[in-house]
Every structure is written in structure tokens, then in C-alpha cells.
């Protein structure tokens, strides 16, 4: 008997040791109040938290169409996340939401967040609320750097106090080629996050604050059909920083919007959309060294799961339901996902009964 390369590879990587425990499927449904609306973009919802009997979520919001970078008018909106503010909504059932208004607005002209604040995530810790989000400064060009910033409040209703400086910045250690505003032309690419730090998500993990984010390099390429986006990690003793980027960065070779949850003392994440390991759920006991646990399909875009208590027995409990965004007719809107574990449970039980 001979062994094919595929069999050898699967054995080497331990694929045959992993059962169905980490598998789930996704179902999608509309929500009211922050769902589809012409002329309004609502996107990149945060995790959903429960506070005093109410669910809360934060998201990017702006009005009007986007024109791309080529419009010739630097004041015109480029992307559906440009010229945005961070808004929030509450709900009693996770389906019917009431939009409450702005949580965090743009900064004064000339500040690092004067153009757009967007893609928020929330951490409730020790009676305080921490919003982490992306920022961009005017003018928004293809080669603009983007930062990650924070605002802090005593209540999910605010008022929000901005932390003065960005929490993390792109490493900016590449070198552009020429003067044209083209992010693909480089002399040197630099680190995985030389150009952009995006999609922050904050955890209190092993007595420290773990800030995961997505990095994009200057001169991004495509490998195996996936964009060159990877996840990084920055760690701090205190919620407001200083955050130090991990020596192990990047901690993934794939993934787009960060989607992580705590499970049984470790960190789990679903890497969707980009990279050679897209559509996998991965797990790192130490929050750094992730291994592939399952391959999923049809995963939600830019999701924010409901943050319930950490499970010790069900790996996919931490992403049971949540919000994500969808694009329809050019408008971005928020909808709800729920996981479906019927197929997994069938295989789990079959094993037990046989």
C-alpha cells in the first residue's frame, strides 16, 4: 500500500484526530430597526452584549452613496465606511432593534480621526465599557494609513471619552514605489501590517488585554486565491494601553474581519473570506498559536457574536448567534445569523451510539 500526498498531509496535520465538535452551519434572517434602508449604510456590527436586560450593539453608520477614490473630489465619500460615525442600538429580543444615536463621532479637523470612525467592537470589563474602532484622517487616499483607537464609558449609553492617541498604528516599514496613489506599487512591502490595522477586537484574557486586529501590507498580493490579510495581536496590562504587538505576529495567515470568542480557557476564531485557510475555525490555548479545528462554509460577513458566559464544553457556543452585515442594492445593512448544529450533533451522537 502506498500513501498519497493528501493522506500524508492530513495525517501530519492531525486532521484525522479532529471530530465534528468544532463544526457548525449558519442560518440568516433579517432584523428590524437597523436592517435594510435605502440611502443608509449600517455595517461592521460589534459583538452583542447584554446589560441590565437589554442587548446592545455598535456599528458603522453613514448616509448617501460612495464614489470610490477616482471622483476627483477629496470630500466625496470613497467607501461605504468612509465619513462614518459609530452608532448604537438596543433590543430586548435580538431581532427588533431601536437605533439610539451616535456613540462616537469624528474628531476635530486635523486630528487622526477627523475623516471617519468605524468598525467598532465592544468589551465590557469591571463595570466599564471599551469601544475599539478604526480611524482615518482626511484626505482619504489609497495610500492612507488607518489606525485603531478607543473610547471608554461607565455605561453602554455613554458618554464616551476618547483615549487621546491611537492604540496601535500600522508598522509603516515598507517603501512605496513612485508618487502615484497606488497601494500595490512598492519597493518593499514591510511587515504584514505595514499599511493598515483594521477590525480591532478586545478581550480580557489571562489577566491582560488582548487586542486582535487585521493587518494589510503595502503592496498587498494574493496567495492561493485569497487576499493577503492576516490577524495580529497586541497585548497590554491596562485596557487603555500601551499595547505591544506580539513577537509572534501575524498570528494567522488568513482571515478578514476578526471573529473570535473565548472557549475553555483559550481563544477560538473563525477566519472567513481571505487567505489560504479561509473558512476555518481555529483554536489557540495561549491565544497566539492557532490550529485548524474545522472547515465551515457560508460564514457570516463581519460578524459580532453575542457575548455570553465562556463555555467549557461546546466549542461553538461562543458564536451561537449574532449580527453581521450584508450588501444589497449597493447599501450595507445589518442582519442576524444563528448557528445550526444539527449535522454536527448527528455525527457526534452517532459516534456515541455505535
Which parts of 100-119 interact with ligand AAL (CB under 6 A)? 118-119
Q: How far is the CB of 300 from ligand AAL (least distance, A)?
A: 12
**Is there binding between residue 278 and ligand AAL (CB under 6 A)?**
no
Which one of 22, 44, 145, 316 is in contact with ligand AAL (CB under 6 A)? 44
What φ, ψ does residue 54 adopt, rounded to 5°? -120, 140
Ramachandran assignment for 284, one of left (phi > 0), alpha (psi -120 to 50 degrees), beta (any other): beta
CA 88 and chain centroid, separation: 17
Residue 130 pairs with which residues in a beta bridge? 123, 152
Question: Residue 84 has which C-alpha cell?
Answer: 462614518
Go through the chain and tell me how many residues it has: 354
Output the smallest distance, CB 258 to ligand AAL, in A: 9
- Beta bridge pairs of residue 127: none
CA pair distance 276, 292, nearest whole angstrom: 12
| Residue 58 engages ligand AAL in binding (rule: CB under 6 A) | no
Helix (H, G, I), strand (E, B) or coil at 265: coil
Q: List binders of ligand AAL among 177-206 (CB under 6 A).
A: 198-199
Judged by CB under 6 A, does residue 302 bind ligand AAL?
Answer: yes
Q: CB of residue 81 vs ligand AAL: minimum separation in angstroms?
A: 4
Q: Smallest distance from the beta carbon of 301 to ligand AAL, in angstroms?
A: 7
- Give the Cα separation of 261 and 47 in Å (integer): 10
State how far the Cα of 257 lies from the Cα of 30, in Å rounded to an integer: 21
Task: Compare residues 213 and 306 and give the one whose CB is closer to ligand AAL.
Answer: 213
Q: How far is the CB of 79 from ligand AAL (least distance, A)?
A: 7
Question: According to CB under 6 A, which one of 55, 81, 87, 192 is a site residue for ligand AAL?
Answer: 81
Number of residues that bind ligand AAL (CB under 6 A): 11
Q: Cβ of residue 184: shortest distance to ligand AAL, in angstroms?
A: 17
| 84 versus 280: smaller Cβ distance to ligand AAL | 84
What part of residues 217-276 is at the interface with ligand AAL (CB under 6 A)? 256-257
User: Which H or E element spans position 323?
Assistant: strand 321-328
DSSP-derived letter for residue 311 is B
Q: 316 — phi, psi (to 5°)?
A: -100, 10
DSSP 8-state secondary structure symbol assigned to residue 348: H
Q: Which residue is nearest to ligand AAL (CB)?
A: 119
Point out which residues bind ligand AAL (CB under 6 A).
44, 81, 118-119, 134, 198-199, 214, 256-257, 302
Amino acid at each position: 500500500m502506498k500513501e498519497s500526498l493528501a493522506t500524508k498531509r492530513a495525517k501530519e496535520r492531525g486532521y484525522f484526530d479532529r471530530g465534528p465538535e468544532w463544526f457548525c452551519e449558519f442560518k440568516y434572517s433579517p432584523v428590524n430597526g437597523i436592517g435594510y434602508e435605502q440611502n443608509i449604510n449600517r455595517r461592521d456590527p460589534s459583538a452583542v452584549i447584554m446589560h441590565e436586560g437589554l442587548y446592545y450593539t455598535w456599528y458603522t453608520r453613514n448616509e448617501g452613496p460612495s464614489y470610490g477614490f477616482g471622483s476627483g473630489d477629496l470630500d466625496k465619500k470613497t467607501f461605504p465606511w468612509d465619513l462614518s460615525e459609530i452608532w448604537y442600538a438596543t433590543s430586548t429580543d435580538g431581532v427588533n432593534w431601536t437605533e439610539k444615536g451616535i456613540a462616537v463621532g469624528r474628531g476635530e479637523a486635523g486630528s487622526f480621526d477627523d475623516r471617519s470612525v468605524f468598525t467598532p467592537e465592544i468589551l465590557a470589563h469591571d463595570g466599564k465599557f471599551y469601544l475599539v474602532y478604526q480611524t482615518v484622517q482626511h484626505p482619504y487616499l489609497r495610500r492612507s494609513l488607518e489606525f485603531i483607537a478607543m473610547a471608554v464609558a461607565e455605561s453602554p449609553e455613554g458618554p464616551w471619552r476618547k483615549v487621546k492617541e491611537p492604540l496601535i498604528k500600522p508598522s509603516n516599514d515598507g517603501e512605496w514605489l513612485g508618487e502615484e496613489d497606488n497601494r500595490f506599487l512598492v519597493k518593499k512591502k514591510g511587515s504584514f501590517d505595514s499599511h493598515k490595522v483594521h477590525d480591532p477586537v478586545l478581550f480580557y484574557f489571562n489577566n491582560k488585554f488582548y487586542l486582535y486586529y487585521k493587518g494589510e501590507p503595502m503592496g498587498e498580493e494574493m496567495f492561493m486565491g485569497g487576499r493577503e490579510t492576516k490577524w495580529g495581536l497586541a497585548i497590554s496590562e491596562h485596557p487603555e494601553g500601551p499595547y505591544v504587538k506580539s513577537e509572534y505576529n501575524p498570528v494567522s495567515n488568513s482571515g478578514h474581519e476578526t471573529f473570535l470568542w473565548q472557549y475553555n480557557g483559550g481563544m477560538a476564531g473563525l477566519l472567513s473570506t481571505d487567505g489560504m485557510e479561509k473558512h476555518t475555525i481555529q483554536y489557540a490555548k495561549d491565544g497566539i498559536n492557532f490550529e485548524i479545528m474545522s472547515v465551515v462554509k457560508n460564514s457570516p460577513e463581519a460578524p459580532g457574536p453575542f457575548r455570553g458566559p465562556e463555555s467549557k464544553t461546546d466549542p461553538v457556543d461562543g458564536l451561537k448567534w449574532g449580527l453581521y452585515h450584508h450588501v444589497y442594492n449597493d447599501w450595507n445593512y445589518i442582519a442576524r445569523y444563528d448557528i445550526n448544529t444539527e449535522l454536527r450533533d448527528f455525527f457526534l451522537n452517532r459516534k456515541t451510539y455505535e
